[in-house]
Structure 1
């Protein structure tokens, strides 16, 4: 696999290209009015589209985007520019329009992030604007229409940006007619099935490169090319930025491309059949191979160097210390070994040093303490040992990752002020810090260590995230921790799980009004249900799993409901009692239908930008899902779940649970629930996992469960259910193990087969619409008789396909990678 990224002199490149990228609105005093034909064409172009904010949640970047300046939609303001175009105003003053001040013709059109929705047709009025030189239509929704070949008629174009605008199909060969282009960006999303939306044939790729000799920027990120890289690429003598990530390129990358004098950025990751080697570099020349050449140090003008997941090995050459202009060095996920060269301390302009997932050993060189501008240091997943040098704590770190190493000793900083340190991840290390002076700390993650004793009362100063899970802390949770300093004003995530805490959950937590996540699972806490947690307005995750909680979770005067709760896990405790039928009525967030809102795709604990840097911390936790325990790495707010299993609840399952239409996982197993399975469960259209096993449920399985077309895991075993398993439905896909232990059940997947009967099912009156004694409703009966088995089977096939596709794009999709 050939996978490398070179980011060089980014800001200089941006400046040098700016003379070619003027897309701002111009209103010149040299012209009195826009030419009438230009106004007419623009208004006709406006009429071709609706204005709807694009929703890209079903489409994603399988290949990480390291050149965010070109590709990040969030970096630009999003609003419908054309909506405010008025006929009675000079078109040269319209937002997004640039005119030639002498002729009055439109020469620039910047409608990026402008909410355009609808196909861009070949007869579009856009192609009447023959004077256009710059077009930017990025981040719109052109409804999977093909890129019109008529772009080739706009012969004066110098810039064309159609990136991430939901075009599909083959890129027309006529694009190669645009010989004056200096910037071409056709980068594409991937579809939910991981296929590229855009394709470029081998011949068209070669013609494009041969004809566009003026190109400065060529960006075809995630365009399916399926060919080798033409040698003629080396003829693009003006090229500064080349982005061909995830293009299915193959063969050998031309080495002579690295000799282009003006090349500053090479971005070609995720081309798994592409090979190549780094040449030896002469001074001031531009950049995979398996060992970094010593002559790499001759590239004195480098400001960004990223060689991630490239299968490099060996030791780092000491000549890296010559790259004194470097602002970022990332060698993530390779096989480098040996010690981290102390000469890296010479890179005094370095802001980010990322060396995780390698084989570096020995101690952290103390020379890194000289990096006075360093904001991000990631040394996780190596073989580093010894003590963490205290000199690191004098640099203005925002993020510090030291996880999964072999550090020992103590980390004593009693006399060091760290007002600039905002994020410290000391995950999976063996260190004993004293952090009383970390007054600027935003995130403290010391999870998966060997810390013991009681938790310090002063720990909570100015924190947003505190994660101490997986240690040996004991004693009670000190209530003072949530009133110390300003923690009660800022704390968002608190994870004390997998320790040995005892006593009760301190009610002083009520002061933490911004708390989103509370996880005290797997401890020895003995307490009643903390009803007062309902008063926390932002609480979204509540985990009390595997403790000694007891009593009821409902009280007529104390119970209000959880308005924003996304995940609740009360499993493996001693809770008991029954729940009223309207118990889930006020669980507002779970009751809302998933609408593709961007907030659903966020992670718990996601910080965004702090002091100008993107903070990559996102909360992870262990959950029971689909019958097994799993680690959810970066928990999406889309994972909406309820786990009340392994307690002593009795009575009927509340019918109001059917109101939670966004629920993805429901586990009520190993309790004493009685009565019928509520037919309202059929309303849970997003449900993927349902476990009602080991209760005392009776009567028939309601036909409405067949409506759960996303259901991937079902366990109704070990109850007293009876009658037939509904056939010709979604339930046919589950095996005997889902129904065993119910002697009264019959069905094709069970040892007991159902007798053929023609007994008519009575039509229920509207008075019994909501729920009948056996769980059927008149709507289902009518639908069953009207559609029949064959149609039901076809619908089942379609919905099953929909289910698996949804799961892929929602949970695997664009969020599985980590940007450095």
Structure 2
């Protein structure tokens, strides 16, 4: 979530807030990037500062990446931000912050009822940061990606953030969620949360059950974790609004749904990119189980090994994906049978074969000519010859043909 910048200016800032900014400058050890602060009286014109035109109060403060590594680690005095009574967006990413001064943590901002965005990415916060966030009930977006959260993290304070819609935990070493109320189902009870980013961490399949309380949930990014074998989608059955599943970089063999599964009718995006590490081919059972998502529109299978004895066994399954519009096979190893199957997905509008080796697949590639709705074909850096190009010329609906690097 990004606030509009159209009103981040004013004719003059309040003296109280100007003084507060100078105290922040000092507490951050006078970094080079804040040297211009104080050169002009109007703090609304200072770099990284935005004000409400009408009230003259600071509403936006971006201090991302202003501290050089040579300044060392920082213990943040959060009370310095309390004077900004209309503050809506606070960016503190990339500043080598290891924690907060004792009794001066983020709980000190609980009175800032306008604060809706807090970005703490790429710092050194550990699990203790979570207990100080529960009073920020107005937050809509919170990012803690790239910190030092590890193991089982407590969600009790997070569950107080009832307005939260966007939560980013990527780039940590989190294994699971926990609560003083026990473990298992419904640990996260953020009823308005729409996006949860967990890429990458150390979550496994047992994490899924703790997401059942996210009734407004639309986007789950759990790429590059430790999901293996059968992915029990039934655990997410309550997420009837789920639209996007990013599962890249895991080792999933298939999707498992029960016969009475209610959800997933809205899932339109799935990424299984880079899911064939250790030399294995993408499992046939995984590809076959994609038919359980009837409204799938976008499918990423890039950076995979798609060779195998599929024959025509996938033709019926993939041709049943009546809503699939975009298929990305970039940088994958694609054999004859799979390329033939792709030719059966006649609803496709966009196909990427960027970086694929295709010479050995020319005999079966004839079926690509039947993609009667295809508008975009990306072949950049692929190995193609004249025979393949003759097939491409038969696709009369093409609007974009990319051959960069061929």
TM-score by length of 2: 0.68
Does structure 1 residue 98 correspond to structure 2 residue 76? Answer: no
1:175 pairs with one of 115, 133, 139: 133
Q: 1:400 to 1:227 in 2, by over 3 A?
A: same
Instruction: State the partner residue of 1:352.
Output: 328
Q: 1:316 to 1:186 in 2, by over 3 A?
A: same
Shift of 1:233: 3.7
CA contact (8 A) 2:186 2:212 kept: no
Shift of 1:269: 2.9
Instruction: State the alpha-carbon separation in 2 of the partners of residues 312 and 414 from structure 1.
Output: 29
Deviations 1:338-397 (A, max 9, x none): 42545277446426356946999452443446533334568779x978431252897532
Where do 1:176-215 residues align within 5 Å? 176-188=134-146, 197-200=147-150, 202=152, 205-215=154-164
1:34 pairs with one of 10, 13, 17: 13
Gapped runs of 5+ residues in structure 2?
A: 277-281
Q: 1:237 to 1:339 in 2, by over 3 A?
A: same
CA contact (8 A) 2:298 2:327 kept: yes
Corresponding pairs, count: 360
Instruction: State the alpha-carbon separation in 1 of the partners of residues 8 and 57 from structure 2.
Output: 12
Does structure 1 residue 396 correspond to structure 2 residue 376? Answer: yes
Does structure 1 residue 291 correspond to structure 2 residue 241? Answer: no
Instruction: State the alpha-carbon separation in 1 of the partners of residues 9 and 386 from structure 2.
Output: 68
Partner-residue secondary structure (3-state), 2:376: coil
Where do 1:516-665 residues align within 5 Å? none
Partner-residue secondary structure (3-state), 2:193: coil
CA contact (8 A) 1:110 1:135 kept: yes
Where do 1:318-467 residues align within 5 Å? 319=291, 322-323=294-295, 326-330=297-301, 333=304, 338-340=313-315, 341-343=317-319, 346-347=322-323, 349-350=325-326, 352=328, 356=332, 361=337, 363-368=340-345, 371-375=348-352, 386-389=363-366, 391=369, 395-399=375-379, 410-411=387-388, 413=390, 416=393, 420-422=400-402, 441-444=403-406
Instruction: State the alpha-carbon separation in 1 of the partners of residues 233 and 303 from structure 2.
Output: 18
Partner-residue secondary structure (3-state), 1:42: helix
Shift of 1:252: 1.1
CA contact (8 A) 2:212 2:238 kept: no
Q: 1:127 to 1:370 in 2, by over 3 A?
A: closer
CA contact (8 A) 1:329 1:353 kept: yes
Partner-residue secondary structure (3-state), 1:221: coil
Shift of 1:115: 6.1
Partner-residue secondary structure (3-state), 2:326: coil
CA contact (8 A) 1:23 1:134 kept: no
Shift of 1:242: 0.8
Shift of 1:219: 1.0
Q: 1:282 to 1:201 in 2, by over 3 A?
A: closer
2:89 pairs with one of 134, 145, 159: 134
Q: CA RMSD in A?
A: 4.5
Q: 1:25 to 1:95 in 2, by over 3 A?
A: farther
Instruction: State the alpha-carbon separation in 2 of the partners of residues 36 and 93 from structure 1.
Output: 14
Shift of 1:260: 3.5
1:248 pairs with one of 202, 214, 222: 202
Gapped runs of 5+ residues in structure 1?
A: 1-17, 53-79, 189-196, 423-440, 445-820
Shift of 1:263: 1.4
2:220 pairs with one of 266, 285, 295: 266
Shift of 1:290: 4.4
Shift of 1:40: 0.9
CA contact (8 A) 1:357 1:380 kept: yes
Instruction: State the alpha-carbon separation in 2 of the partners of residues 283 and 125 from structure 1.
Output: 38
Q: 1:211 to 1:319 in 2, by over 3 A?
A: same
Q: Which has the larger radius of gyration?
A: 1
1:121 pairs with one of 67, 75, 91: 75
